[in-house]
């Protein structure tokens, strides 16, 4: 069987490394998708936001680490939230004692109130934050931060996806945190791995080498048509024939390349919501900026929702005597951020980070911005209905979806690898 894999991001290349008889069609000149890295003037930046390697899934973690071999470093997470000018331990509920005393009290009081009050089932994500964490924690951090990263009305987002991604805090942890007794949230992230050289693209390069001659780059899929018992995939000039199609590219591009698509399918497709991402990459003439892994910034006077410090992952990502900083900004098509030029966004980011004393603008020696159209899946209230319609349609047509924007789910790197591993296992059992 000849299998056609559409898209050579992390998922597509993982599939390609596991499937012997396949081709991987990639629209761009480079593989990687959101896991691409850029090397320029001695700096290495991850273009789709800052990536790290961690997982509770040992099989997946070992899979990724084995691909990197000796090109790996292990780090302990040191993540903070910038709250009213202070650095508070992440997650917020585990750093309550670091808040001003009144704020600490209001957070603990709000959490106790949700424990003792009769609970009603939350109908949206905003309600879920209040009914899970209480008014204090929700209003001081979780609501403003989530409004910023999602760039969407939280009362119009669903709740079904939050379990496991936004864990419910243990009661003991909240009380200990308020009293100043050390606690840890997200313990599976306490330690993480990162390529020593090459940024996250080192993982992509390793997978691409395993796929050898399977990858066909600069092949922009324009049409996917059924012919006899197989498939014809064309870029408008060249045709490739396959017996099975696995799509890892965004579901939008898959559906729009197919023929005879009913109007109701396009309606469901057009109702799906997602965010785009601008990564502002800065190089500084600073040997050691701080000891942080990354910062979360809920403040509305700063475009970036997260600022990462990859020089603290690996010294090899910046020239000697310099540091690398990555600021992540979400946006939507047509909004004010989208309409701003890269130069305007770079200037604004530098000024905002300077005012918040995260960097000194006079030390900036390199600056560049990179845009990614597809970054975050937004789970609006109609998500479940619309994605079910689309997946039923593609399943009936015989198109298999694997990966973050093909399945249209907010999957981390480890989940993308897991879904690829599981798909190949099912394929081998058929």
178 close to 95: Cβ distance less than 8 angstroms: no
Residue 207 has pLDDT above 80, yes or no: yes
* Terminal Cα distance for the chain, rounded: 12
SS3 content of the chain, % helix, strand, coil (to 5): 40, 25, 35
User: Positive or negative, the Cα torsion across 22, 24, 217, 282?
Assistant: negative
Q: What residue segments make up the domains of the chain, in order of their start?
A: 3-33+202-272+380-429, 85-185
Enclosing H/E stretch for 227: strand 223-227
% of the chain residues with pLDDT over 90: 91
Using left for φ > 0, alpha for ψ between -120 and 50, and beta otherwise, residue 410 falls in beta
Span 99-103, average pLDDT: 97
Q: Is 3-33+202-272+380-429 assigned to CATH 2.60.40.10?
A: no
When pLDDT is cut at 50, 70 and 90, the band that residue 210 belongs to is very high
Closest CA to 325 of 302, 301, 295, 299: 295
CA–CA gap between residue 4 and residue 19 (Å, rounded): 10
d(CA 149, CA 311) in angstroms, rounded, equals 24
CB 136 within 8 A of CB 110: yes
Least confident range of 29-38, 108-117, 180-189, 281-290: 180-189
> What pLDDT does 1 receive?
63
Average pLDDT over residues 96-101: 96
pLDDT digits (tens, 9 = 90+) for 241-289: 999 999 999 999 999 999 999 999 999 999 999 999 999 999 999 999 9
The sign one gets for the Cα dihedral 380, 386, 392, 397 is: negative
Rounded to whole angstroms, the Cα distance separating 172 from 242 reads 56
HSE (CB half, 13 Å, CA atoms) of 334?
Answer: 0
Q: pLDDT digits over 352-393, tens only?
A: 999 999 999 999 999 999 999 999 999 999 999 999 999 999
**CB 412 within 8 Å of CB 186:** no
- pLDDT single digits (tens) 216-242: 999 999 999 999 889 999 999 999 999
């Amino acid at each position: 069987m000849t299998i056609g894999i559409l898209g050579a991001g992390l998922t597509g290349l993982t599939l390609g490394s596991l499937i012997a008889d396949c081709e991987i069609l990639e629209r761009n000149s480079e593989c990687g998708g959101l896991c691409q890295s850029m090397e320029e003037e001695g700096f290495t930046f991850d273009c789709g936001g800052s990536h790290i390697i961690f997982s509770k899934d040992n099989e997946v973690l070992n899979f990724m680490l084995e691909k990197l071999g000796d090109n790996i470093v292990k780090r302990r997470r040191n993540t903070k939230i910038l709250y009213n000018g202070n650095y508070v331990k992440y997650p917020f509920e585990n750093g309550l004692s670091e808040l001003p005393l009144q704020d600490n009290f209001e957070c603990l009081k709000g959490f106790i109130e949700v424990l003792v009050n009769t609970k009603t089932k939350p109908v949206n994500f905003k309600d879920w934050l209040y009914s899970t964490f209480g008014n204090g924690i929700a209003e001081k951090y979780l609501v403003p931060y989530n409004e910023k990263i999602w760039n969407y009305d939280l009362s119009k987002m669903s709740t079904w996806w939050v379990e496991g991604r936004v864990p419910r805090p243990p009661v003991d942890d909240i009380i200990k945190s308020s009293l100043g007794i050390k606690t840890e949230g997200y313990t599976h992230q306490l330690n993480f791995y990162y390529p020593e050289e090459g940024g996250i693209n080192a993982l992509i390069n390793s997978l691409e080498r395993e796929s050898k001659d399977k990858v066909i780059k600069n092949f922009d899929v324009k049409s996917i048509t059924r012919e006899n018992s197989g498939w014809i995939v064309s870029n408008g000039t060249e045709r490739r024939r396959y017996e099975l199609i696995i799509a890892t590219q965004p579901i939008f591009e898959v559906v729009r390349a197919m023929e005879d698509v009913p109007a109701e399918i396009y309606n469901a497709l057009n109702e799906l919501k997602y965010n785009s991402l601008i990564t502002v990459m800065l190089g500084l003439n600073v040997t050691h900026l701080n000891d942080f892994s990354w910062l979360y910034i809920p403040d509305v006077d700063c475009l970036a929702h997260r600022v990462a410090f990859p020089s603290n992952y690996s010294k090899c990502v910046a020239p000697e005597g310099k540091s690398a900083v990555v600021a992540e900004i979400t946006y939507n098509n047509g909004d004010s951020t989208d309409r701003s030029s890269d130069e305007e966004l770079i200037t604004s980011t530098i000024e905002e980070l300077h005012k918040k004393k995260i960097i000194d603008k006079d030390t900036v020696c390199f600056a560049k911005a990179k845009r990614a159209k597809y970054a975050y899946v937004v789970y609006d209230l109609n998500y479940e209905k619309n994605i079910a319609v689309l997946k039923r349609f593609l399943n009936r047509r015989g198109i298999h979806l694997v990966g973050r924007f093909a399945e249209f789910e907010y999957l981390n790197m480890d989940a993308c690898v897991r879904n690829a591993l599981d798909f190949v296992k099912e394929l081998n059992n058929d």
